[in-house]
Amino acid sequence: MLRATIFLTSLALLATSALADDAIDEAQLGPGLSLTVYNQDLAVIKERRLMALPRGRELVKFADVAARIIPQTVQFSSLSHPAETRVVEQNYEFDLVNANKLLDKYIDKPIRIITRDGQFIQGLLLSFDAAQLVLRDTDAADGSLLLLPRPNNIRDIQFGSLPEGFLTKPTLVWLVESQKPGQHLIKVAYQSRGFSWRADYTALIAEDEESMTLAGWVTITNKSGASYRDAGLKLMAGDVHIVKEEERRRDRISGRGGRELAMKSARRFEEKAFAEYHLYTLGKTTTLRDNQVKQIELFPIAEKVPVHKKYLYRGGSDVGVYLEVKNSKQNNLGIPLPAGKVRVYQTDIDRAREFIGDDSIDHTPKDEPVKVRIGRAFDLAAQRTRTDRKRPSDRVDIQTWQIKLRNHKQVPIEMEVEEYLNGRRNWKITDSSDEFTKKDYRTIVFKKEMPANSEWIIYYTVRYWW
């Protein structure tokens, strides 16, 4: 049977000067593991591990790597003796052992069967398929054949030992050439698919609706096919440009099933700018198990964050309710907020917290506004009507629109109306009942504070030409 292997050659170049530069410090750290997780189904894993290397060329196995590793990204170096150690060849082997592969290896070899009723049967395995096993009875003098149905009949199959060459975990196999035999501190770095993270925020609106309490968590998902114990963790926020390539293989490791949500107390993340992105570093190590979803606190709970509530009507839709917060230090925030979902709650008259809506936000720099749509306004009504249209020529179109808004609330509100114009044509507002601002090349905005139980009627005329 051919071994499913990805073969990479000439990896001596991987022990580059960049790795050598940081080897001086890392060699003092000893064994360790760290992960940098990106938003885009990607992580960079760096591991330092003690390994015994013989003199000369020898095959070395590095197990417990991610099943969804990107083999082309593997970097290897010896932190103990970088100049005297290099990788000549590398194989990534993921042809893992399963029942049928074991049976295939045991053709013409003895195996022992335990049936459902507890009977022991042993013999030479001659052949097998999904329905049955064919054995030669070694206890019978005539060497008679036994046909054993497999489904619902066989409780256990016992083998002598695991045949050579079979792997139980995805493994990197290197042909290493070393002039310094003995214990080496090896550093391996590679990229892997199967990781993601996002931010989750919980906002509790005060009774007066003028401030809120904001908590931020990061939710990390590991579906890489490997677990990472006591690992340093960094999260990269931002859209890193990645060239999309068709994966050369499918994930051949079956998951254990289910997802575990672990909400454990942990030291918070420290944020800093990195290149064109933002890097969040956890202040202590953590464990990410395979097929696990873990949540860790992103920042301390921000209290008394000023919030501005307003209502927005975009032509043809309902009136939306929005909360706006400025992400500033003065508002007890002021850190770059990674993209994620904001879930909003408010306390009712019974002092119980009720969910009132959620929305997604994009990566938001400090000192920029965060706008969250929490739902549709129940006590506000809007109607938009084109009241007139004229075509004085084939290249001129004059339209008059009316927007009627009614506030049935017992309190005043701040109302905004956004009108989208035909951006593919030249346009000019020739008449308007209210002042407006031009938001962009095709949008104008009307703003007004509407008293309780009031009505606001807007009309405007726009002239298009082309």
How distant, in Å, are the alpha carbons of 18, 77, 179, 190, 253 from that of 21?
5, 12, 21, 18, 36
H or E segment at 456?
A: strand 454-465
- Give the pLDDT of the chain (466 residues) as one tens digit per residue: 333 333 333 333 333 333 344 444 676 788 999 999 998 889 999 999 999 998 999 888 888 888 899 988 998 889 999 999 988 888 887 665 667 777 888 899 898 899 888 888 888 999 999 889 999 988 777 778 988 888 888 888 888 766 665 666 778 888 899 999 999 999 999 999 999 999 999 999 998 889 999 999 999 999 998 999 999 999 988 666 665 554 444 444 333 333 333 334 445 666 665 555 678 888 889 999 999 999 999 888 999 999 999 999 997 788 999 999 999 999 999 988 988 999 999 988 777 899 999 999 988 889 999 999 999 999 999 999 999 999 999 999 999 999 999 999 999 999 999 999 998 899 999 999 999 999 999 999 999 999 999 999 999 999 999 9
pLDDT, residue 166, reads 61
pLDDT, residue 239, reads 63
pLDDT, residue 168, reads 62
Burial group, residue 372, by CB count within 10 angstroms (0-12, 13-18, 19+): buried
Contacts of 151 by beta carbon, 8 Å cutoff, 6+ apart: 131
| CA–CA distance, 404 with 382 (Å, rounded to integer) | 6
Closest CA to 326 of 439, 204, 211: 211
| CA–CA distance, 188 with 49 (Å, rounded to integer) | 8
pLDDT, residue 5, reads 34
* Side-chain half-sphere exposure of 171, counting CA atoms within 13 A: 18
Q: Could you tell me the two tokens for 35?
A: 């992960």
The CATH T-level fold of domain 380-465 is: Immunoglobulin-like (2.60.40)
CB distance 281 to 270 below 8 Å: yes
- For tokens 């000549």, the residue is 88
Query: Exposed e or buried b for every residue in 110-121, given b needs 16+ CB within 10 A?
Result: ebebeeeeeeeb
- For tokens 């293989």, the residue is 249
pLDDT, residue 421, reads 94
| CA–CA distance, 404 with 424 (Å, rounded to integer) | 27
Contacts of 281 by beta carbon, 8 Å cutoff, 6+ apart: 232, 233, 234, 269, 270, 271, 272
- The string of DSSP codes covering 353-372 is EEEEEEEEE--B-TTSEEEE
Question: Domain limits of the chain?
Answer: 5-33+48-96+167-192, 99-158, 380-465
The reported pTM is: 0.65
Show contacts of 120-127: CB within 8 Å, 24+ apart.
121/146, 121/148
Question: Residue 37 CB: number of other CB atoms within 10 A?
Answer: 24
Q: Could you tell me the two tokens for 274?
A: 């990195």
Question: Residue 70 CB: number of other CB atoms within 10 A?
Answer: 16
CATH for 99-158 is 2.30.30.100
**List of E strands, 264-339:** 269-274, 277-282, 286-288, 292-306, 308-314, 319-326
| CA–CA distance, 360 with 340 (Å, rounded to integer) | 6
